[in-house]
Structure 1
Amino acid sequence: MSSYTSISSEKLSRLIGTAKAPTLVDVRLDEDFAADPRLIPGAIRHSHLDVQDWAHRLTGQSVVVVCQKGQKLSEGTAAWLRCGNIAAEVLEGG
């Protein structure tokens, strides 16, 4: 079940392609990306290590952060974005 800081894949799939579609940010580790280099359509890839360098580009947008399992990397990155007043959620299950 989704929490207020996460979104289910079903809900996200209904938003993609609409005016309310969030910006998707893939923060998987390089080795995880190498094992499966596919991105969700429209997603951009950034390192969680330099979130302070790219977060300002997301100001005013809603964001869904994606990682391998939807846990540590995405949770931490989304929390950092929320501290910067960016509406950020995590994709449940990665």
Structure 2
Amino acid sequence: MPEHSDLGLLVLPEAVCLAEALCDLDWRRYVAMVELNFDLTQFYDHVAHRLGQPRMFARSIAWNRDGDPLRRWVMAHCGRHKQTRNQYWDRVRRHQLPLVHSGR
């Protein structure tokens, strides 16, 4: 039996593209803090582009209700950061609301 395997490591390009997208700290932050699910389409567009897929591929993931693995990861990631996200957006809304004047 040889000491070293001659097979090497098999790497699928799609897996590398997904790993890059899922490990990118800017995208992870974006996904965690996005206020509306509609805004997640930017992330799905990015993944589709990295995979060489058309935008319709991204839209099918974004609106898929059948448990696409990428969508499940996104929803779980959003869920882990729900409290922080809600606190952030509440603060943003408080500072953007117009002042209410008394009845003078």
What range is the shorter-chain TM-score in?
A: under 0.3
Structure having the higher Rg: 2
Tell me: higher relative CO, structure 1 or 2? Use CA pairs within 8 A at least 6 residues apart.
Answer: 1
Greater per-residue helix proportion:
2
| TM-score, length-scaled by structure 1 | 0.25
